[in-house]
Amino acid sequence: MSLSDFARPLVASLPQVQCSCRVESVEEKHYTFSAQNLPEPPPLLATSDLVMAKTEHHYGNCCRIDTVHFYAAGQTHRELGVLILTALFSEKTRRVAIDLEHESSAIKRLEINCGALTGSACLGYTRKPQQFTYHPEIPDRIPWDGRFDERDLPLFDLDFREGTKCHPVNDLDKRDKVEVKGGDEALILVAELLLNIGLPACDVSSDAGSTPSDKTWVLECFLGRQRVAKWSAEAQFHLPNSFSWPGQYPSLSLSGA
């Protein structure tokens, strides 16, 4: 099954404009996610509407940091956010995967791992989320302006697909799998960001002849403005028609239309 076929019906029911209830005394309708209104996700989906790339940069002259890039139309970002929430609220599935079929994608599989959700210092005790009320808003370029416990931040693990038999040191350039994992707070943060990136207001096209706007959202590691867990790769999410959008896969700008 494709990611679009699975998630698009639910995405179509989500709010399309940002709310103002957090800054004004306005009563607005929002969307509440729970196990009762979310379908069970299949363990494996596929999509050609998402391209993922990997780069690296350095802090100072000694610390190399990996970065994973998500390139997709706003609709696809929202579909991915919905998939994360279905896994999070699932009664059966704690891990879902997406095969990335676009020929330009250096990452061939994206996995969502909710396994950390059941962790507890008390042996035999488990917990599960009850509901998440989604308040749509335009996210800052570096989101989540606040102090977070490291345990509440997501981790993006750049690794090899199982069975590739690559060497963990000598074959780093061949890493082709990204795993997004963390506790329920961490995955809610990622899902909410993806839902917000997909708001139509985030995807307003620039005027003809003007410089494209920067439609990129950045999650920095602990050496920057910590937005991911320690030892995580950094993550960047891109929309079409931005100056950060590579020209070799412009067809993605039409996906999800």
pTM assigned to the model: 0.91
Give the structural domain span for 218. Answer: 3-15+29-117+129-244
Q: Does some domain include residue 24?
A: no
Residues 34-54 pLDDT 10s = 999 999 999 999 999 999 999
pLDDT band at 165 (very low <50, low <70, confident <90, very high): confident
Asked whether residue 124 is assigned to any structural domain, the reply reads no
Beta 216-219 vs 234-238: how paired, if at all? Answer: antiparallel
pLDDT band at 102 (very low <50, low <70, confident <90, very high): very high
Sheet of 51-59, strands arranged across: 51-59, 63-71, 234-238, 216-219
Give dist(CA 216, CA 162) in Å, integer. 30
In a domain, 50, yes or no: yes
User: 15 with 134: CB under 8 angstroms?
Assistant: yes
Q: What is the structure's pLDDT at 129?
A: 85
Residue 37 contacts by C-beta under 8 Å, 6 or more apart in sequence? none
Nearest CA to 234 out of 20, 81, 46, 54 is that of: 54
Q: What is the pLDDT of residues 189-200, one digit of tens each?
A: 999 999 999 999
Least confident of 57-66, 127-136, 226-235: 57-66
Are the C-beta atoms of 112 and 83 separated by less than 8 Å?
yes
Query: Could you tell me if 97 and 45 are in contact, meaning their C-beta atoms sit under 8 angstroms apart?
Result: yes
pLDDT at 26: 64
Q: What token pair was written down for 33?
A: 């996610």
- Domain count for the chain, please give it: 1
Mean predicted confidence (pLDDT) in 177-206:
90
pLDDT digits (tens, 9 = 90+) for 67-80: 999 999 999 999 99
Residue 210 pLDDT > 60: no
Residue 239 pLDDT > 90: yes
Residue 64: is it exposed, middle or buried by C-beta count within 10 angstroms (0-12/13-18/19+)? exposed
Which of 100, 1, 8, 95 lies closest to 54, judged by CA? 100
Other beta carbons within 10 angstroms of residue 63's beta carbon come to 10
Question: Does the residue 210 lie in any domain?
Answer: yes
Which residue, chain included where needed, has tokens 């961490």? 186
**pLDDT recorded at residue 163:** 76
In a domain, 186, yes or no: yes
Report whether pLDDT(257) > 50. Answer: no
- Report if residue 47 sits inside a domain: yes
Domain-embedded: residue 250: no
Is the per-residue pLDDT at 119 higher than 60? no
Q: Residue holding tokens 């950390």? A: 116
Residue 147 lies in a domain: yes
How many Å separate Cα 200 from the centre of its chain? 17
